[in-house]
Amino acid sequence: MSIDQRQAAATLERLLAGKNAAELGARLAAKDGAPVLRLAGGSGVDPETIERRWASVGASAECREALLDAQTAAQAERYKGSIESFLGTVKVPVGIAGPLRVNGTHAQGDYLIPLATTEAALVASYSRGAKLITEAGGCAAVLVNEGVTRAPAFTFATLHEAGQFIAWTLANLDALREVGEATTRHGKLKDLRVSLEGNHVYLIFEYTTGDAAGQNMVTIATQAICDHIIASCPVQPEAWYVEGNHSGDKKASAQSFLSVRGRSVTAEVLIPGAMVEQRLHTTARAMADYWRVSAVGGVLSGTIGVQGHYANGLAALYLACGQDVACVAESAVGVTRFELRGDDLYAAVTLPNLIVGTVGGGTGLPSQRACLEILGLAGAGKANAFAEVVAAISLAGELSIVGALVANEFARAHARLARGAR
């Protein structure tokens, strides 16, 4: 990223403040010698290993107690499959938003939504939107599509070889499907898309993953498929990689709107105008007007999709419920739309990349399992309903934040609720 000459000169002046160029160079140079600190790593979570690890950290007793309280120490074995070099747990405040009424193809009923966050006003805002939706009779939510991708890349000497490789792959798709599905009880190879760029081939495998988010599942299945290709294909690549950065994994990308990664959900609600005025202190027309302004603002700033703050609710819900929080990078891609319907407000959200699950990953950890149980969505058979609830709470957050901005209450709400400001 470039900076103009004035910024460059100011930055250089700050860097050299009190130093000459040689001194700065010495600070930035590589340093020889063994590291001063040594860590007892590994994946063990037995008391002796944890004790050695803490001894190598050299932190105070107060620091240790904050991370490794008695309950965490007693439950250490439950974290073994989720972390390496285990030291303890970090406590993030959890609040409850709702009730949120969802009239979905999978989620039906009123839900209380656990949100883990350190941002004051967030839970209050999402709760306000959830209550508004519920008072209006609930939002409709539809799971439109599902699939998790992994995209291995293969490089060849020539375009001709790449084309021969694609032809062989497509002719042997049934065998590849059998190899991949043999690695999992729940994953199914749903589709294969091919991207050819010169002498590079990207095979975009798309799987369904049952009730798991499925990131590890599809990686292991794709590794097995690639191993089979290398062992069997008469056209051998010069190099290959199990992920060629074409899947959109944990990134906001334009292809989010062209396919699916995880679960794609759309949700809508019609809010009576009188309810908008009573609960959000503004009008349906003002909400729709703001949406048009914000949509243009999003285009001008180059956002992928147009929405207010999906990442806020998604990160808080993912953290509370044991999802892979880094997937918010792609899950927060989507579209919010507000329209005036007579005196009423029509609101809709579409989120095409909800990487969520109710089994596997962090969903079995003690606190995260408890949050899923509060939702009534822990365990097998609940992932599709969970995805619809995620979209519904995102809709609640959009209604509340836009209402606050239009009514000029956004800053005041943060000032009032951020008690004990630092």
CATH classification of the domain holding 161:
3.30.70.420
Residue 190 is assigned to a structural domain of this protein: yes
Verify that 278 and 224 share a domain, yes or no: no
For residue 136, tell me if it sits in a domain. Answer: yes
- Judge whether 28 lies within some domain: no
Is residue 400 located within the same domain as residue 294?
yes
Same domain, 188 and 228: yes
327 and 281 in a single domain? The answer is: yes
Exposure class string for 344-375: b at 16+ Cβ within 10 A, else e? bbbbbbbbbbbbbbbbbbbbbbebbbebbebb
In whole angstroms, give the CA distance from residue 270 to residue 243: 42
**CA dist., res. 382 & res. 305, Å (int):** 28
In sequence order, the β-bridge partners of residue 263 are 146, 354
End position of a domain, from candidates 241, 275, 294: 241
Same domain, 230 and 274: no
- Count of structural domains within the chain: 2
Rounded-to-integer distance, Cα 332 and Cα 391, Å = 10
Q: Are residues 194 and 333 in the same domain?
A: no
Return d(Cα 293, Cα 328) in angstroms, integer. 25
What is the distance between the alpha carbons of residues 319 and 110, in angstroms, rounded to a whole number? 21
**Rounded CA separation 405/287 (Å):** 9
My answer on whether 160 and 224 are in the same domain is yes
Using the 8-state DSSP alphabet, how is residue 262 labeled?
E
Query: Is 167 contained in some domain?
Result: yes
Burial class of residue 404 (count of CB atoms within 10 Å of its CB; 0-12, 13-18, 19+): buried
User: 130 with 276, same domain?
Assistant: yes
Active-site positions? 119, 324, 414
Q: State the residue range of the domain holding 375.
A: 95-146+263-417
Considering the domain architecture, whether residues 235 and 328 belong to the same structural domain is answered as no
Does residue 297 lie in a domain region? yes
231 and 285: one domain?
Answer: no
Q: In a structure prediction context, what are the per-residue pLDDT tens digits for the chain, which is 422 residues long?
A: 778 888 888 888 888 787 788 888 888 899 898 888 888 778 899 999 999 999 988 899 999 999 999 999 999 999 998 999 999 999 999 999 999 999 999 999 999 999 999 999 999 999 999 999 999 999 999 999 999 999 999 999 999 999 999 999 999 999 999 999 999 999 999 999 999 999 999 999 999 999 999 999 999 999 999 999 999 999 999 999 999 999 999 999 888 888 899 999 999 999 999 999 999 999 999 999 999 999 999 999 999 999 999 999 999 999 999 999 999 999 999 999 999 999 999 999 999 999 999 999 999 999 999 999 999 999 999 999 999 999 999 999 999 999 999 999 877 766 676 655 55
Same-domain pairing of 296 and 392: yes
Q: For residue 133, is it within any domain? A: yes
Q: Which sign, positive or negative, has the C-alpha torsion 269, 133, 278, 403? A: negative
Residue 172 lies in a domain: yes
Domain presence at residue 120: yes
User: Is residue 55 helix, strand or coil?
Assistant: helix
Is there a single domain that holds both residue 386 and residue 283? yes
